[in-house]
Every structure is written in structure tokens, then in C-alpha cells.
A and B are shown apart, each in its own frame.
Chain A
Amino acid sequence: MTQAIELQSVTRRFRNDNALEDVTLAVPDGAICGLLGRNGAGKTTVMSLISGQDRPTTGRVLVDGDDPFENEAVLSSISFVRDNQRYPDDYFLHHVLSIAPAFAPHWDGELAAELVEGFRLPRKPAIRKFSRGQLSAVAIVLGLASRAPVTLLDEPYLGLDATARGLFHDLLLRDLGRHPRTLLLSTHLIDESDSLFDHVVLMDRGRVVLRAEAEEARRVAMCVSGVADAVQAFCADYPVLRSHSIGGLRTSTVTGRLDDDARSRAATLGVQLKGASLQDLAVAYGSGDSLQDSSKEGISA
């Protein structure tokens, strides 16, 4: 399978901080890839680099095998609206809708109109005065109606109500079915989008901590909970990513397959066991205490 997006040992330093540290990842052609992690994990920076809005300090970024920076052909095949996108002064929705087709060769005006109506985006106030949810909706309109072969959606759920999230999923999947493309979707609200992904990349503090096919990722870890002593006994054999105690109760997320061995061990010790969801994994990697743990080194399934 050819790779639509590749980052090879990419480091991005800004004046005071390292936004990305030795990031390597690949998104296959036609994949729906989740870019997961807490706020500040480096998700937007990754997308910025892919779309040529930014350049790596070291390392290589490739889109369809080419460097996207100042590359007109590649850039016209990418759609990326950042979560804190700025629009020109005094811009209204109709300005956005009238100019976007000039840059997006595959633009679908009907889909754009359907999305605008579904999200109930107002024509009147300037975009500067839009609410968080309305800004997310504008970004979704641009992202989906562009039909860009490489589509990057940056935190599309911010501020969207449940109806709007449902509409987003409906139209996203309907349109992907008709016009397949490569999709990279960043979010820190993972349960919402879990079943959309076939690939996931999990980031924490500028590093990739997990990249895998989604089915694999859902099986790299498990959550064990119960009386603290029993949970600790269970954890003796597994690398612990994160533990959380309240009173005498304890929940731990550990790497390891949820297999018959694990099940019978859990039954013997009297602890509850379940497979770790992507959300559980993200929480485990994103919590500070696992940093000191040697198992913090990235896992690759």
C-alpha cells in the first residue's frame, strides 16, 4: 500500500519549546487515521507540517512522495483548516464559500450547501463573531466539500452539539463512500470517533507513543480494576501505563493482550478486566505519572 502521508524523524523546534521530537508516522492511501492525544501533544503542528504551512527543523515530510512546502500541485490536493483558524478581516460565510472553489479543484458546492444548512450556519454575523461550534462547522464545510485527496480535520468536534456531530459523521461517511480519500482526523474526544478509524497515531508531548492499525491498537492494552492489592498482584506481570486509586480501589491500564491467561488470572484474583479502548490508551499515555515509567517508550503494534 502506498503512503499518502509520511513523516520521517521530524523534529520541530520553536524558540522556547520542542513542539515535535523525532516524529515518524505514515498514513496509507485511503486510510481514515485518528491523530490522538491531549491538547498540546503536537497534533496541530503535525498537520501544519503536512500542509506546508510550517517546515520541520529536521527530518522529512512527504505527501504522495513529495515535499508539500511551496509545492502547488501537492497543496491543491490537501485540505487543512486549523482548530484556531484565522479568517480575513470582515469575512462572512459567503466570502469563504465563494473563494474556496478557486483553490479546490474537486470542490462540491451542493455538499457545501447541504452542510451549511445542516449545521444552520448563519449568513449574517461576520465569521469573527461565530461561536466555537460554528467555527468548527465552517472548518468541516471546507474540509469535506473540498474533496481533497488528503483531508486533514483538526479537532472537528470542538463546540459541536450532538445533532451536529451526528450530521458530521453521516455526511463524512456518505461522502467518503462516494469519493474515497485519505483522512487524518485529530481529536482529544476519542470515544466520539473511535469506530471511524482504521489507523491511529497516539501522541504525547510532541512524541508518537503508539501507531498501529486501529484493531491492533484496541488490543495492545487492558484495564484492570478492583481491590488495590489484587490489582497490584495482577499488574506484577504487565508493564503498567497508568494507575488510579480511590480509597482501597484501584484501576490500572497495562500493556498486554486480553487473552485467556489474563482472563483466568483476573478470575482467580477477583479483579475486573476489560480491553483498553483508544480513549483509555490516550488517557493512560497522556497522564503525567506514566512518564517516569520505563514502559513509556513507544509501543508499535
Chain B
Amino acid sequence: MNGIQAATRLHLTKKNMTFGVPVQIVGLVAVISALIALIIWRAGGTPGSAEWITGARSNGGMAFGLLGFLVYLGVQSIATTFPFALTLGSTRKAFVGGTLVWAAVTSAYLAVIYAVLLLVELATDHWFASVYIFDVYYLGTGDLLILLPTVFLGSLSALTIGALFGASWARFGNRGPVFLGAGLAIGLLGLLALVLPSITGSVLDGFRLWWLAVAAVVIIAVSAVMTLLLLRSAVVR
């Protein structure tokens, strides 16, 4: 078996973590969204009205509810798995490659889950109760072609950023994530300071969604390369 395949399988041994827990979280967020809709209805909202729909579609639960878990999953995919991967005889390169493949598989799986549930939501006229869970602004307002790449790239970004933090810990111990976090924050602020003055109305008007997709791809690529560079010089003690 080649090294990257083996490393991918290493991550996939914990099937429940990869495939089970995210679905449980999705279910939980869905229940909470439904409960919120119920509360708003009891408070006097009119299901189906234009006002109702605008409010319900602003529900960010499904877009952001998984982020925390995905970042954790990314961190542990390196932090606690790296020493065991080396023990099994993986090279650092193959391990990072396998981790990336696993993260892509996980993200694709989530995108498919979201897509299926969106289709169900649309087919049931929003769960027969005007409950907007997947048909929301953040996920493309019911457009499958926007939801799929959004969920895929969003999940993959969260996983690879988590992995990068895990790698910084594997390389530098407790100081790693602190410095990486501080470095990223400073870098981001610096970038904003540079870019903000030049953002005018015309640029904002010209904003296209694919800009975000490009940004996500860049984040994923940079995280993966930095993860490899950190692990290249990481030792297990």
C-alpha cells in the first residue's frame, strides 16, 4: 500500500469521529434552528411572510455550527496522530499527504450531506413549517451549485487550519499555537491595513463569490505547505 493511502486510512480508522460526530452536530443544529423558529412563531411571527423568510434565511447555525468541531478535528489529526503515524513507519510527507486526502474526503462527505438535506428541505417546502436550515444566505439561498463548493471549501479550510495549529504544537510544543495565532492575527491586521484604504465602493460592487473560493483555496494550500514544513523538522520525544 502506498504511504499516502496508508496515512489516509490511519485517519479513517476512527470512523465515528469522521463520519458520525459531524452528522450528530448537524442534527443538533437543525433541532435548535427548528426550536428558534417555534419561538419566533409563538412570539407572533407569521410563517411564510416575506419578513419571516428574510429573518429565517439569515440563520447562520448550519454555516458556522460545525466550524469549532472541524478545527478541533484538524488539530487532533496532527497533534495526537503524528507520533503514532511515525511509529507505524509513515514518512512525514506521506502523513501530511494522507491527512490532506482525509480532510478532503471528510469535506466532500459533509458537502454531500448538506446537499441531500437541502434537497429534502426544498422538496418538503422547508420541513412543512417554513423552517429554514439549509436554504440560507450563507449557503447560497437554495442554490446547490453554491452550497456544494461553500461547504466543501469551508470545511477543508477549517480542517487544514486546525491541522496547521496541530503541526505548530507538534513542532514547538505549547509555544507553537500561541505564536502561530499571534502571527496570523498580526498578518491579517496588517493585510487589512494595507488593503482597506483601497477598497472603494466600486470594488465592493464588483465583488464576486468566486473571490472567496480563491481565498479558501489559497488558505488551504498555504496551510498544507506550512504543515509539511513544520512537521519536516518536528521530532517525537
Chain A residues with a Cβ under 8 A of chain B: 14, 48, 51-55, 70-72, 75-76, 78-82, 85-91, 95, 98-100, 102-104, 142, 148
Which residues of B have CB within 8 Å of A75? Answer: 89-91
Nearest 5 A/B pairs, CB to CB = A103-B88, A54-B235, A75-B89, A102-B6, A88-B81
Instruction: Check B94 against A88 for contact (C-beta < 8 Å).
Output: no
- Taking the complex as formed, is B126 at the interface, i.e. its CB lies under 8 A from any CB of chain A? no
Which residues of B have CB within 8 Å of A51? Answer: 86-87, 89
- Taking the complex as formed, is B76 at the interface, i.e. its CB lies under 8 A from any CB of chain A? yes
- Taking the complex as formed, is B14 at the interface, i.e. its CB lies under 8 A from any CB of chain A? yes
Instruction: Check B92 against A70 for contact (C-beta < 8 Å).
Output: yes
Q: Using CB atoms, name the residue of chain A closest to B90.
A: A103
Q: A76-B89, A98-B13, A104-B89 are in contact. Are A88 and B84 (CB under 8 A)?
A: yes
Which residues of A have CB within 8 Å of B1? Answer: 102
Which residues of B have CB within 8 Å of A86? Answer: 80, 83-84
Instruction: Check B9 against A99 for contact (C-beta < 8 Å).
Output: yes
Q: B56-100 CB contact bits vs A (8 Å, 1 = yes)? A: 000000000000000000001000110110111111111000000
A-B contact pairs, 13 of them (CB 8 A): A14-B237, A48-B236, A48-B237, A55-B235, A70-B93, A70-B232, A75-B89, A78-B89, A99-B13, A103-B88, A103-B90, A104-B89, A148-B89
Instruction: Check B6 against A82 for contact (C-beta < 8 Å).
Output: no
> How far does the alpha carbon of A88 sit from the alpha carbon of B78 in the complex, in Å?
9
Q: B162-198 CB contact bits vs A (8 Å, 1 = yes)? A: 0000000000000000000000000000000000000
Which residues of B have CB within 8 Å of A54? Answer: 235-237
Q: B12-24 CB contact bits vs A (8 Å, 1 = yes)? A: 0110010000000
Which residues of A have CB within 8 Å of B140? Answer: none
> How far does the alpha carbon of A116 sit from the alpha carbon of B80 in the complex, in Å?
24
Q: Using CB atoms, name the residue of chain B closest to A95.
A: B13
* Interface residues of B, dominant DSSP: helix
Would you give the shortest CB distance from B94 to chain A, in whole angstroms? Answer: 7
Instruction: Check B235 against A99 for contact (C-beta < 8 Å).
Output: no
Chain B residues with a Cβ under 8 A of chain A: 1, 3, 5-6, 9-10, 13-14, 17, 76, 80-81, 83-84, 86-94, 232, 235-237
From B3, B80, B92, contact of A89 by CB (8 A):
B80
Which residues of B have CB within 8 Å of A55? Answer: 235
> How far does the alpha carbon of A34 sit from the alpha carbon of B14 in the complex, in Å?
36
> How far does the alpha carbon of A75 sit from the alpha carbon of B84 in the complex, in Å?
13
Instruction: Check B14 against A90 for contact (C-beta < 8 Å).
Output: yes
Instruction: Check B91 against A72 for contact (C-beta < 8 Å).
Output: yes
Which residues of A have CB within 8 Å of B3? Answer: 72
Q: Using CB atoms, name the residue of chain B closest to A75.
A: B89
Which residues of B have CB within 8 Å of A70? Answer: 91-93, 232
> How far does the alpha carbon of A55 sit from the alpha carbon of B92 in the complex, in Å?
13
Would you give the shortest CB distance from B213 to chain A, in whole angstroms? Answer: 31
Instruction: Check B91 against A102 for contact (C-beta < 8 Å).
Output: no
> How far does the alpha carbon of A89 sit from the alpha carbon of B14 in the complex, in Å?
9
Would you give the shortest CB distance from B50 to chain A, in whole angstroms? Answer: 47
Instruction: Check A85 against B17 for contact (C-beta < 8 Å).
Output: no
Which residues of A have CB within 8 Å of B6? Answer: 102-103
Which residues of B have CB within 8 Å of A81? Answer: 87
Would you give the shortest CB distance from A13 to chain B, in whole angstroms? Answer: 12
